[in-house]
Amino acid sequence: MTTLIQNGTVVTATGRHAADVLVDGTTIAAVLMPGSDAAASAAAGAERIIDATGKYVVPGGIDCHTHMELPFGGTFASDTFEIGTRAAAWGGTTTIIDFVDDAALKEMDSLVNEGITSFKLFMAYPGVFYSDDAQIFRAMQVAADNGAMICMHAENGIAIDVLGEQAAARGQTDPIYHGITRHPRFEGEATNRAIQLALVAGAPVYFVHLSASEALERVAEARDQGHNVFAETCPQYLYLNLEDHLGAPGFAGAGYVCSPPLRTKHEHHHADLWQGLRTNDLAIVSTDHCPFCMKDQKELGRDDFRAIPNGIGGVEHRMDLIYQGVVMGELTLERWVETCSTTPARMFGLYPQKGVIAPGADADIVLYDPDATTRISVDTHHMSMDYSAYEGIDIDGKVDTVISKGKVLIQDGAYHGAKGDGAYLRRGLSTYLT
Ligand SMILES: [Zn+2]
């Protein structure tokens, strides 16, 4: 099957230009100058033509941090891989990187050989996912040898638990205390500690879901010194805050319990994160998609915030929410593509198969309509959640058409994919390391 995507504006990490994109089977065969002889002959020979007039043609989104079906706090994240990846497709994301292994140190080498090239460690959640400094340091030493990327959840979980116990003992059990007890300095401290450990081990380190100015400062400082230190942030830390969301009346704040927590609007975390995205101290936007329903799940913590399952679902909305950053003047169109697709591909060993519109790449393509609008709501989303953390947010753009490996998944407001369309991706090593 050959498909020609005509009359669109192709946007890549490095620029935008009018171009026709020829897809042959599962890959991109050519990017052609509109009106050229080559474009005309491609149009004559194509079995299918998709008109992209007025639309941006961008590489499919890559969400490098999701948790489908994650066991947490006596329940499971509410999206299965099937439901979650379908919701992702609705939102223009065609690739996810999930965390499925409980790897022992000795397994890291064989996993790297099987195409699992990044490993997430937790400085938070003592007694659950927590690794102590010795375990972290040893894993970093292994990563320094085999080229894997260590992804770090940097919060001082030991200190957080002290404040959590003290708050609960005082009867401060509402969701907002989840945020108040997870002090931003605890994220800054853990970030710095992980950087120092990584430098001694000689390993790169990638900070997941960075939320606080204190942590961003440590990352920026290390990067200024030339170290292989990278970080991502997530839409919830750009759009949502401690007071209005985690502190929502009644138990509604439970829907915003995630870790690190949403930060106060009275400091400058949100503005700093947007700036970090511009300066590349934050290289990537992922979602840390980890959905739970209010009913039967978030409700587990009605009497104690510490029992609320941690996580927010957002895999469906990342491309829209960060595109809105373009509309708001926070990012360029090219930087949107870079932070949401191209850099995730390069960081996690999927480039140039993914993350770019170029001959030979997988035909994962999104047509994005800047003249249409999207209203985010529980009534219209496709995730398995009974609320939306982004309820009522209006986006000045819309995912129009989504193609994955040459197959049209979303078109004319309908889903055309099928169970089993997805495939496991063997990943190589990060291309950012020298
Ligand atoms: Zn996570």
Q: Phi and psi (nearest 5°) for 323?
A: -60, -40
H helices, E strands: number in the chain: 13, 20
Indicate if the pLDDT at residue 210 is higher than 80.
yes
User: 67 alpha carbon to ligand 1 midpoint, in Å?
Assistant: 6
Question: For residue 108, what are the CA distances in angstroms to 116, 145, 195, 347, 349?
Answer: 9, 10, 21, 18, 16
- What pLDDT is recorded for position 106? 86
User: 157 alpha carbon to ligand 1 midpoint, in Å?
Assistant: 15
User: 287 alpha carbon to ligand 1 midpoint, in Å?
Assistant: 8
What are the b/e assignments for 38-73, b being 16+ CB within 10 Å?
Answer: ebeebeeebeeebebeebbbbbbbbbbbbbbebebb
Angle at the Cα of 312 (from 432 to 395), degrees rounded to 5? 80
User: 365 alpha carbon to ligand 1 midpoint, in Å?
Assistant: 26
- What pLDDT is recorded for position 232? 98
- What pLDDT is recorded for position 434? 72
User: 16 alpha carbon to ligand 1 midpoint, in Å?
Assistant: 32
Distance CA 265, CA 272 (A): 12
Indicate if the pLDDT at residue 64 is higher than 80.
yes
Which residue do the tokens 């329940």 mark?
75
Distance CA 160, CA 331 (A): 33
User: 63 alpha carbon to ligand 1 midpoint, in Å?
Assistant: 11
User: 369 alpha carbon to ligand 1 midpoint, in Å?
Assistant: 30
User: 27 alpha carbon to ligand 1 midpoint, in Å?
Assistant: 31
* Percent of all residues in the chain with a pLDDT value above 90, rounded to a whole number: 96
Cβ atoms of residues 208 and 153 within 8 Å: yes
Q: Name the residues around ion ligand 1, CB cutoff 5 A.
A: 288
Measuring CA to CA, which residue among 233, 239, 357, 287 is closest to residue 96? 287
Tens digits of residue pLDDT in 322-345: 999 999 999 999 999 999 999 999
Indicate if the pLDDT at residue 395 is higher than 90.
yes
Measuring CA to CA, which residue among 307, 304, 310 is closest to residue 172? 304
Question: For residue 410, what are the CA distances in angstroms to 209, 402, 404?
Answer: 28, 5, 9
User: 133 alpha carbon to ligand 1 midpoint, in Å?
Assistant: 19
- What pLDDT is recorded for position 404? 98
User: 351 alpha carbon to ligand 1 midpoint, in Å?
Assistant: 22
Measuring CA to CA, which residue among 198, 193, 194, 168 is closest to residue 181? 168
User: 258 alpha carbon to ligand 1 midpoint, in Å?
Assistant: 9
User: 222 alpha carbon to ligand 1 midpoint, in Å?
Assistant: 23
User: 130 alpha carbon to ligand 1 midpoint, in Å?
Assistant: 13
User: 66 alpha carbon to ligand 1 midpoint, in Å?
Assistant: 6
- What pLDDT is recorded for position 217? 98
Q: What is the DSSP annotation of 380-400?
A: T--SS-SS-TTTT-EES-EEE
Q: Which pLDDT band holds residue 424 (cuts at 50, 70, 90)?
A: very high
pTM of the model: 0.97
Question: Worst-scoring range by mean pLDDT, 22-31, 48-57, 102-111, 371-380?
Answer: 102-111
- What pLDDT is recorded for position 164? 98
Indicate if the pLDDT at residue 54 is higher than 80.
yes
Measuring CA to CA, which residue among 311, 411, 231 is closest to residue 69? 311
Indicate if the pLDDT at residue 104 is higher than 90.
no
User: 199 alpha carbon to ligand 1 midpoint, in Å?
Assistant: 23
Angle of helix 213-224 relative to helix 184-201, nearest 10 degrees? 20
Cβ atoms of residues 216 and 260 within 8 Å: no
User: 259 alpha carbon to ligand 1 midpoint, in Å?
Assistant: 8
Indicate if the pLDDT at residue 362 is higher than 90.
yes
Task: For strands 15-24 and 2-12, give the pairing.
Answer: antiparallel
User: 33 alpha carbon to ligand 1 midpoint, in Å?
Assistant: 41
pLDDT averaged over every residue in the chain: 97
Distance CA 154, CA 215 (A): 9
What are the b/e assignments for 141-157, b being 16+ CB within 10 Å?
Answer: ebbbeeebbbbbbbbbb
User: 307 alpha carbon to ligand 1 midpoint, in Å?
Assistant: 17
Question: For residue 206, what are the CA distances in angstroms to 300, 330, 390?
Answer: 32, 23, 26
User: 396 alpha carbon to ligand 1 midpoint, in Å?
Assistant: 28
Measuring CA to CA, which residue among 318, 266, 258 is closest to residue 287? 318
Q: What is the DSSP annotation of 163-177?
A: HHHHHHHTT--STHH
Q: Which pLDDT band holds residue 367 (cuts at 50, 70, 90)?
A: very high
User: 244 alpha carbon to ligand 1 midpoint, in Å?
Assistant: 23
Measuring CA to CA, which residue among 312, 321, 318, 307 is closest to residue 290? 312
User: 256 alpha carbon to ligand 1 midpoint, in Å?
Assistant: 15
- What pLDDT is recorded for position 110? 93
Distance CA 117, CA 95 (A): 16
User: 386 alpha carbon to ligand 1 midpoint, in Å?
Assistant: 21
What integer is the mean pLDDT of 64-92? 95
- What pLDDT is recorded for position 105? 85
User: 318 alpha carbon to ligand 1 midpoint, in Å?
Assistant: 15
Distance CA 395, CA 328 (A): 10
Tens digits of residue pLDDT in 150-199: 999 999 999 999 999 999 999 999 999 999 999 999 999 999 999 999 99
Tokens of 39: 């474009």
Distance CA 55, CA 279 (A): 27
- What pLDDT is recorded for position 295? 97
Which residue do the tokens 């439970």 mark?
254
User: 375 alpha carbon to ligand 1 midpoint, in Å?
Assistant: 26
- What pLDDT is recorded for position 339? 98
What integer is the mean pLDDT of 253-276? 98
- What pLDDT is recorded for position 433? 87
User: 302 alpha carbon to ligand 1 midpoint, in Å?
Assistant: 23
Tens digits of residue pLDDT in 273-301: 999 999 999 999 999 999 999 999 999 99
User: 288 alpha carbon to ligand 1 midpoint, in Å?
Assistant: 5
Indicate if the pLDDT at residue 428 is higher than 80.
yes
Question: For residue 170, what are the CA distances in angstroms to 23, 251, 261?
Answer: 62, 18, 21
